[in-house]
Amino acid sequence: MTTISKVRYSRRSLLKTGGAALAASALPAPMVWGQETKNITLRQFGTGVSNLNEVGQKVKEELGFTLEMTALDSDSVTQRAATQPDSFDIADIEYWICKKVWPTGNLQAMDTSKIANYDKIVGIFKDGKLTPESEIAQGTAPHTVGFVPEQGATSFADEPTQWMTLIPTIYNADTLGIRPDLIGRPINNWSELLNPEFKGKASILDISSIGIMDMAMVCESMGEIQYGDKGNMTREEIDATFAIFTEAKQNGQFRAFWKTFDESVNLMASGEVVIQSMWSPAITAVKSRGIPCVYQPLEEGYRSWGGGIGLSKSLSGMELDAAYEYINWYLSGWVGGFLMRQGYYSAVPETSKEHMSENEWGYWFEGKEATGEITSPFGDVLAQAGETRDGGSFYDRMGSVACWNAVMDENQYMVRKWNEFISS
């Protein structure tokens, strides 16, 4: 599909510059379209996870244009997408951020007919169902904010339409990380985080929007609170959740709270903490130091998150074409393979398969035993032959998502309560 759009550039460029090109025929004629795309720069910003320099380099190699990437934390990403539409071309944001930002009208919907691999995108991002039997999880499930009825609409459509808000890029299912060697017994429930057995050895992340979801999973698992919707709690539910956690904090349940990826790795690797909320690559980082660490699947299911790329409303003309070209390339497999070899999932897994070895595909996606060493794209050994991925296959993991990262109506109230919890 890349050639099609390049031909389009060439035709347009020829019309524009045809006369001049003829007049200057003495000059050795360069590939006009090639020159023009080279001058295009797309500015992408987003959270750290998928803003990878490797992707930028590959784009330059394969598509010819420049992708400038800026990594920010999720609060700043939200602010920028909401208030400065002219400062970016492509926003790499999470779905819950999309829910906040889309109503501002700063992003434009994408025409799915221009997305070559649209039909292969997994169901989670279309009708919300991974398989026809799947139940839809609580929170801001991607499909609920994935489509709009028409270009320019500021409210979301209830079912898939021709206009997509974000093209899904990367997603995963999060759970608790544990040190099996220091715990020495099976862990099967979220409620174990507050088990007095781990007094002074537990941790939770100090990022309110995600931490509150982990808290909710724990409280529900303890049987203390039944939530209407964990992704959109009432004030009473928020108060009850914090009451339980404040009590646990004052009893010394927590060793520390972490805010950055590195902190979570160090807490776990040093043995300060034996059970905590964690992100998938952090588990990998602990393991690569030779320390046993398990991303423990739990009965209540996972807390999941997903990101996608959206287009600024100010994109048009050749830049818009380049952006579509970039999206099509993103879904065509190389990036997917690159991300899946780190433990994330790609929105179009089948195209990624071609960019992974059979062993890698079996380990990461199908949950099979590794037949040889599994290495990350950066060369670190992550698993030996005979090991399997924690949680099993793609369908086992993404099939048991209990809730999605979300933004609540009572968000500001929750944030204030969070601040109180930290200082209590």
* Cα separation values, 221 from 194, 226, 301, Å: 10, 9, 10
Partners of residue 205 on adjacent β-strands: 258
Q: How far is the CB of 406 from other proteins (least distance, A)?
A: 14
249 binding other proteins? (CB under 8 A): yes
- Is position 365 an interface residue for other proteins (rule: CB under 8 A)? no
Scan residues 332-361 and list those touching other proteins (CB under 8 A). none
Among 103, 271, 292, 377, binds other proteins (CB under 8 A): 271
φ, ψ of residue 91 to 5 degrees: the values are: -105, 125
Which tokens hold the place of 424?
């209590």
The CA-atom distances, in angstroms, between 201 and each of 204, 212, 255, 278 are 11, 19, 5, 14
Total of residues contacting other proteins (CB under 8 A):
31
Residue 335: partners with Cβ closer than 8 Å, 6 or more residues away: 55, 58, 169, 329, 346
DSSP designation for 143: G
What is the spatial distance between Cα 10 and Cα 204, in angstroms, rounded to a whole number? 54
Contact 205, 256 (CB under 8 A): no
Instruction: Give the range of 114-122, 199-207, 319-327, 358-366 binding other proteins by CB under 8 A.
Output: 199-207
Residues 94, 72 contacting (CB under 8 angstroms): no
Contact with other proteins (CB under 8 A): which of 62, 68, 73, 350?
A: 73
Closest distance to other proteins from the beta carbon of 407 (Å):
9
| Contacting other proteins within 77-106 (CB under 8 A) | 78-79, 82-83, 100
What is the smallest separation between the CB atom of 282 and other proteins, expressed in angstroms? 16
Is 216 within 8 Å of 193 (Cβ atoms)?
Answer: no
- Residue 410 as a binder of other proteins (CB under 8 A): the answer is no
* Cα four-point dihedral sign 123, 124, 130, 136: negative
What is residue 181's DSSP assignment? H
Q: Which stretch binds other proteins (CB under 8 A): 37-45, 49-57, 145-153, 203-211?
A: 203-211
Nearest approach in angstroms of CB 419 to other proteins is 6
Report the residue from 96, 190, 254, 404 that binds other proteins according to the rule CB under 8 A: 254
Q: What are the residues whose beta carbons fall under 8 Å from the beta carbon of 305, sequence distance 6 or more?
A: 94, 95, 96, 171, 172, 174, 210, 404, 405
Rounded CA gap, 251 and 200, in Å? 9
User: 258, 334, 338, 361: which one contacts other proteins (CB under 8 A)?
Assistant: 258
Q: Tell me the per-residue interface mask from 6 to 35 with other proteins, x by CB under 8 A, - otherwise.
A: ------------------------------
Nearer to other proteins, 77 or 347 (CB): 77
Which of 127, 224, 229, 272 contacts other proteins by CB under 8 A? Answer: 272
Residue 374 amino acid letter: I
Note the residues at the interface with other proteins (CB under 8 A): 73, 75-76, 78-79, 82-83, 100, 200, 203, 206, 208, 249, 254-259, 266, 270-272, 411-412, 415, 419-420, 422-424
